[in-house]
A and B are shown apart, each in its own frame.
Chain A
């Protein structure tokens, strides 16, 4: 019973394609995130949703669109993929405010060729 699960684990696709990554958490948390980890292992936040509402939207190209159908799910859709989008994308969840710290999924390794 994985706490934060992402699918797919690996994604190889061509430039220009559109792809989605799905994330689900069963921890009952009210806040979910997408983080991007580049080739140098640097983790940076992209988006944060609290109770299905977008609360953080860092400087991310608008080709990236998150969608939260309910507070247990946060999906990431990427349009017109570029070579520079290759990275590992992590979904995470936490209880908002001064609650628990973030728990991360296993990551989706995206390779754009």
Chain B
């Protein structure tokens, strides 16, 4: 069993829809939770970063962490065609630098 599980999709939504992306994990020591966006043939770029439980909002993006359920989410409001990419969740433990990634969810926003 992988430490981080993520539905690979693909996920197709119409422009303007609310998108929900999720990951579950098994290691309760994870304290730092990230979402990366990866466009085709590019490297992952950091989108959101959350420490421990709670919510964090940045423009149209909201990251949620529920440590009791070992579940994290990324919500995208008013989705745009430019949001079409693969979204990777990642997490790490305190004091360690290496990230554990989910397999990524491929999102397509249709104009």
Q: Do A and B bind each other?
A: yes
Given contacts A41-B8, A42-B101, A43-B101, contact A104 B95 (CB under 8 A): no
User: Is B86 interfacial (CB 8 A cutoff)?
Assistant: yes
Residue of B at shortest CB range from A41?
B104
| Dominant SS among interface residues on chain A | strand
Count of CB-CB pairs between chains A and B under 8 Å: 60
B-contact bits for A86-113, CB 8 A (1 contact / 0 none): 0000101010111001111111010000
Interface size class of A (residues with CB under 8 A): 20 to 34
Q: Do the beta carbons of B103 and A101 come within 8 Å of each other?
A: no
Q: Does B98 contact A (CB under 8 A)?
A: yes
Q: Is A50 an interface residue (CB 8 A)?
A: yes
In the complex, the answer to whether B103 meets A56 with C-beta atoms within 8 Å is no
Chain B interface size band reads 20 to 34
B97 and A106 contacting across the interface, CB-CB below 8 Å: no
For the complex with contacts A41-B88, A45-B99, 16 further pairs of A-B residues with Cβ separation under 8 Å are: A33-B98, A41-B8, A41-B106, A42-B103, A42-B104, A44-B101, A56-B97, A90-B43, A97-B97, A101-B99, A102-B46, A103-B45, A106-B42, A106-B43, A107-B43, A109-B41
Name 20 A/B residue pairs within 8 A (Cβ), A-sorted. Answer: A33-B98, A40-B8, A41-B88, A41-B103, A42-B101, A42-B104, A43-B99, A43-B104, A44-B101, A45-B98, A48-B97, A48-B98, A56-B98, A92-B43, A98-B94, A103-B45, A103-B46, A104-B36, A106-B43, A107-B41
